[in-house]
Amino acid sequence: MTIQTQVSTAQPVERVHLAAAYRLIAEFGMDDSIFTHISAKAPASEGKDAFLINPYGLRFDEVTASNLVTVDLDGNILRDDYGQGINKAGFTIHSAVHMARPDVHCVLHTHTVAGVAISSTEEGLLPLNQWSLEFYDRIAFHDYEGIALNLEERERLIADLGSKMIMILRNHGLMTCGTSVGDAFKAMYNFERACQAQLAIMASGMKPRFVPHELAEFTAGQGEAWAAKHEASGKPDPEWEAYLRLAKKRCPDFDS
Whether the per-residue pLDDT at 140 is higher than 60: the answer is yes
DSSP H helices, 28-136, are: 88-100, 113-119, 130-133
Mean pLDDT to the nearest integer, 96-108: 97
- The model's pLDDT over 186-202, given as tens digits with 9 standing for 90+, comes to 999 999 999 999 999 99
Taking the C-alpha atoms of residue 10 and residue 215, their distance in angstroms, rounded to an integer, is: 47
Whether the per-residue pLDDT at 4 is higher than 70: the answer is no
Mean pLDDT to the nearest integer, 145-167: 96
Grade residue 3 by pLDDT with cuts at 50, 70 and 90. Answer: low
Output the average pLDDT for the chain.
95
Q: What is the pLDDT of residue 75?
A: 95
- The model's pLDDT over 216-250, given as tens digits with 9 standing for 90+, comes to 999 999 999 988 888 888 888 999 999 999 999 99
- The model's pLDDT over 163-188, given as tens digits with 9 standing for 90+, comes to 999 999 999 999 999 999 999 999 99
The Cα angle at residue 180 between residues 213 and 57, in degrees rounded to 5: 110
Mean pLDDT to the nearest integer, 123-135: 98
Beta-carbon count within 10 A of 172 CB: 22
51 φ, ψ (degrees, to nearest 5): -135, 160
Whether the per-residue pLDDT at 9 is higher than 90: the answer is no
Q: What is the pLDDT of residue 1?
A: 35
Domains of the chain: 13-231 (3.40.225.10)
Q: What is the pLDDT of residue 123?
A: 96
pTM: 0.95
Q: What is the pLDDT of residue 10?
A: 86
Taking the C-alpha atoms of residue 251 and residue 123, their distance in angstroms, rounded to an integer, is: 37
Taking the C-alpha atoms of residue 177 and residue 161, their distance in angstroms, rounded to an integer, is: 10
Q: What is the pLDDT of residue 229?
A: 83
Q: How would you label 138-154 residue by residue, b for 16+ Cβ within 10 Å and e otherwise?
A: bbbebeebeebeeeebb
